[in-house]
Structure 1
Amino acid sequence: MTTHQITLGAINLEAQDPSMLAGFWADITGAMPSPGGNSVYLPPVGPGGFAMFFHPVTAPRPEHQASHLDLTVPWGSRQVEVERLIGLGAVYRWDVLDEYPHVQWTTLADPEGNLFCIAEHPPVDQQGA
Structure 2
Amino acid sequence: MTLSLGAVTVDSSDPEPIAAWWAEQLGAEIVATNDGWFVTVKGGGLPGFLSFQKVAEPTPGKNKIHLDLMTDGNLDATADGLIAAGALLVEKRSMGDFAWVTLADPQGNEFCVASGH
Same fold by TM-score, threshold 0.5 exceeded?
yes
- Say if 1:27 and 1:88, in contact at 8 Å, map to a contact too: no
Give the equivalent residue in structure 1 for 2:18. Answer: 21
Structure 1 pair 95/54, CA: closer, same or farther in 2 (3 Å)? same
Computed over aligned residues only, the root mean square deviation of the Cα atoms, in angstroms, reads: 2.2
Deviation digits for residues 96-116 of structure 1 (CA, Å, limit 9, x no counterpart): 13x332x21000000111000
- Structure 2 length-normalised TM: 0.83
User: Runs in 1 of length 4+ with deviation above 6 angstroms?
Assistant: none
Sequence identity (%):
32
Structure 1 pair 121/60, CA: closer, same or farther in 2 (3 Å)? closer
1:49 aligns with 2:47: yes
Deviation digits for residues 66-108 of structure 1 (CA, Å, limit 9, x no counterpart): 221110112x5111111111111101110013x332x210000
Moved more, 7-16 or 55-64: 55-64
- Structure 1 length-normalised TM: 0.76
3-state SS, counterpart of residue 43 of structure 1: strand
Structure 2 gap ranges (5+): none
Moved more, 103-112 or 56-65: 56-65
State the number of aligned residues.
Answer: 115
